[in-house]
């Protein structure tokens, strides 16, 4: 499928976008070696024409090929954006390009996927990564909190999003 909608059709009724967008069409360059997009994007959305914009609502799902930033293990991260909404302006400076009454929604979907990519992919939120010699020493100090530090950082990372 392609994420192209015809405005004349939309004037009459809402359109449903349902299917898979090939990775080459989504064309996401993560600029990052730990995340690769090779699987198709699953789209299940409804497009509604408002007075000066298009409203997209639905779900986006994409399996990402990731490398854990802690232990370097390859794993698949299933990205799911539920309750996805997106406004595509048809008026003003930011207006979408209309060609033969059609609007390509791919750039807007690409933008939202980029924003939703994990900042630091982890194979498991509790991944302790590669064994480091200094962890053994720290444990001997008896605080008992050392092992929890990595997940504490993960929580902080989430907040920074």
Nearest Cα neighbor of 121 from 155, 75, 160, 63 is 75
Query: Which residues of the chain form contacts with Zn ion (CB under 5 A)?
Result: 68, 70-71, 123, 127
If the CB atoms of residues 71 and 81 are measured against Zn ion, the closer one turns out to be 71
Determine the Cα–Cα distance for residues 66 and 50; give it in Å rounded to an integer. Answer: 38
Q: Which is nearer to Zn ion, 30 or 151 (CB)?
A: 151
Comparison of 56 and 123: residue with beta carbon closer to Zn ion:
123
- Rounded to whole angstroms, how far apart are CA atoms 90 and 98? 8
Least CB distance from residue 75 to Zn ion, whole Å?
A: 7
Report how far residue 106's alpha carbon sits from residue 25's, in angstroms, rounded to the nearest whole number.
8
Task: Using the minimum distance from each CB to Zn ion, give the nearer residue, 102 or 127.
Answer: 127
Q: How far is the CB of 146 from Zn ion (least distance, A)?
A: 17
CA distances for 131 relative to 12, 52, 106, 140, angstroms:
61, 56, 42, 15
Least separation in angstroms between CB 106 and Zn ion: 32
Minimum distance from residue 128 beta carbon to Zn ion (Å):
8
């Amino acid at each position: 499928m392609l994420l192209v909608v015809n405005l004349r059709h939309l004037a009459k009724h809402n359109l449903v976008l349902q299917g898979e967008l090939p990775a080459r069409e989504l064309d996401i360059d993560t600029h990052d070696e730990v995340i690769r997009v090779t699987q198709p994007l699953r789209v299940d959305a409804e497009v509604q024409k408002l007075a000066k914009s298009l409203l997209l609502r639905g779900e986006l799902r994409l399996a990402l090929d990731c490398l854990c930033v802690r232990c370097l293990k390859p794993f698949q991260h299933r990205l799911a954006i539920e309750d996805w909404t997106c406004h595509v302006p048809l008026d003003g400076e930011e207006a979408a390009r209309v060609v033969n009454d059609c609007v390509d929604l791919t750039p807007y979907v690409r933008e939202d996927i980029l924003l939703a990519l994990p900042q630091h992919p982890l194979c498991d939120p509790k991944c302790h990564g590669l064994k480091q010699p200094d962890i053994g020493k720290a444990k001997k100090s008896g605080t008992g909190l050392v092992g929890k530090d990595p997940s504490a950082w993960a929580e902080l990372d989430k907040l920074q999003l």
